[in-house]
Amino acid sequence: MTQISSPPTDKHWQASEPFTDQKPGTSGLRKKTQQFLQPHYLENFVQAIFDTQPALAGGTLVLGGDGRFHNHEAIAIICRMAAAHGVTRLLVGANGWLSTPAASAIIRKYEAAGGIILSASHNPGGPDGDFGIKFNGPNGGPASEQVTEAIYQRSQKIEGYAILPDPAPALEAQGEYQLGATRITVLDPVSDYAELMESLFDFAAIRTLLSGGFRLRFDAMHAITGPYARALLEDRLGAATGSVMHGEPLTDFGGGHPDPNLAHARELVDLLWQDGGPDFGAASDGDGDRNMILGHCCYVTPSDSLAVMLAHAEQIPGYRGRVSGVARSMPTSRAADRVAKALGLPAYETPTGWKFFGNLLDAGKVTLCGEESFGTGSDHVREKDGLWAVLYWLNILALQRKPVGEIMQAHWQQYGRDYYSRHDYEGLPSDIGAAIMQRLRDQLPTLPGQQLGGLNIQTADDFCYDDPVDSSRSANQGIRVLFENGERIVFRLSGTGTSGATLRIYLEAYEPPSGVLDSDVQERLAELIKVAETLCAVRALSERHAPTVIT
C-alpha cells in the first residue's frame, strides 16, 4: 500500500489502495456483502464522499441503514470517519436503523448537508447477500449524476482515508454522545417520520375505518419498515396487534428476498386470496421505499396505484388544492397521464431513477410521482416511500368506504384501463443481456411500418430525456415500441442487481371505458407478449423458456 507522505496532524490516516471498481449507479454502490468486508473497501468509498462534499465539514450529516448484515459495523466506521473529517453533528438512527424515506425526511427537517444511507434496497441480505451505500444531498434525494461521477473519479485516486482511532459510541440507546469534536445524536428512527405522516393524512378517518372491523395485513418482510409500521398502523391508528407481519428487522431478512411483489411476498398474497381473508394488504422492501398494494382477491399494479392516488388527491389533507403535476418513469403505464389530462395537470415521462423526479419536485413542477417497480412518492421527501403509499391508500379507503376492487373498477370505468405487466428475466449473463439490447437497437430504423402478430408498429426509439429543469440529457434509457392501436412494449436492462443482468419487458394495452375492463391481464396481453419475445429473441439468446418473475 502507498503511504501518504504528509498526513494531517489532526487526523489519523490509514493508507490504502485506490478504489478500482465499477462506477456506482443511481442507487449508489451495491455489491456482494463479502466485497464490502474486504479491508478498506467501504472506507475508500466513504473517503471519496468526504473529499468531494466539502459542505459536510462543519455541517450536519444523517446516517442510517436498513439493518442488514454489516450495517452496524459500517455505521461505526462512518461515525469515526465523519469525526475525522470535521462533521459538526451526526444524526444516527437508534440501532443504526433508518428507512430510506425517513432518512430523506430527517435530512430535510434538520437542514443537513447530506446523508449516507446503507442499503441494497430490495436485494437479499446476510453474509452471502448484498450490501450497499449511497449519498443523498441536502434536498434529501439521491445524489445527482455530477456528484456520483465526482465521487467515483475521486475513488480512483485516493491513497488513504481519515478515521478517528477512538471507538464509536454504542448506537442502541437514544441520546447525545461525543466523538472527538463531533456531536452524535442517536435519535428515534420513527418519530420524525411518523410526525410527517400525521401532517399529511387524516389519521382520525383511518382510525375510524380500522375500528369498524376493517382488517389489514402489512408484510414488513423482516426489513426496516417493521418498527415504522407497528408504530403507525398498530400503535397510532389502532390496527389489531399482529396486523404487521414479519415486523422484526433481521440481518438476513429471515432468509427471504425483501422485494414486495407477487412472487416474493407470496405468504401475504395467499392471505388476501383466502376466503374470509383481510380487506387490505400491503408490503414494503428492504429499505422501505417500495410498496405493493392488495385488496381482497385484488392486485393493484404500481402504475394503477399512482393513477388512483392522483385521482383522489383532493380528498387527502396534505395534497388538497396543491397538486401541480405528476411524473412517471418511462416504463410505467400511461394510466396516470390519463388522469392528469382529465384534471388539466401536466404529466412528465422520465427515465427510471428517482433523481429525475427530484429535479421536478424541487422545481415545483410535480407533486406526485411513481415508478412501475413498486415505487411511489411525493414532495414530502425526495425518495419513494413505501409506508406513505400504504397510508395514502388507507386514507382513500377510509373516505370511500368501498373495497379496493370496487375502487379500481370505478377508476377504470371513468378513465379506462391500462392492461399492464412486467416480465423479468433475472440473472442473465451480462453479455447476453447486452446482446439482446443491441439486437433491439439495430432493428430500430426498420421497425416502423412492420406488422407483427397482427399488430402494426407505429414508432420505435431508444428513449432520450431532456430534463426541463437543468437541461441535462439522458440517452439510451430503454427501447420503446408503440403500435398503431396504442399498445406498447418497453425493453430495459436493470442495474439494481449485483450479479448478471435482468432484462425487463414491459407490456401495455389500453382499453377505453366502453371496453372489457375485467379480462385476465396475461390473456389480454398474450399477442403482445409473443411479439415482444420475437423482437428481442430472449428465449433463443438466453435459452430461457419463461420469465423468472411476472408482475
Task: Give me the active site residues, please.
Answer: 121
**Cβ-count burial of 357 within 10 angstroms (0-12 exposed, 13-18 middle, 19+ buried)?**
buried
- Could you give the C-alpha distances from 326 to 369, 510, 517, in angstroms and in order? 5, 20, 24
Cell numbers that stand for 19 in this block: 478504489
Grid look-up 455489491 returns 31
Q: How far is CA 127 from the centre of its chain?
A: 23
Cα→Cα distances 95→160, 276, 348, Å: 28, 38, 39
Written as one letter, the residue type at 24 is P
Bridging pattern class, strands 13-15 and 29-32: unpaired
The residues near 281 (Cβ < 8 Å, ≥ 6 apart) are 216, 217, 218, 219, 268, 269, 271, 272, 293, 294, 295
Task: Name, in order, each residue with C-beta under 8 angstroms of 224's C-beta and a sequence gap of 6 or more.
Answer: 65, 66, 67, 97, 98, 99, 119, 249, 286, 287, 288
| Coil, strand or helix at 527 | helix
C-alpha cell at 10: 489532526
Which residue, among 289, 328, 353, 355, has the nearest Cα to 137 in the 3D structure?
355
* 256 close to 222: Cβ distance less than 8 angstroms: yes
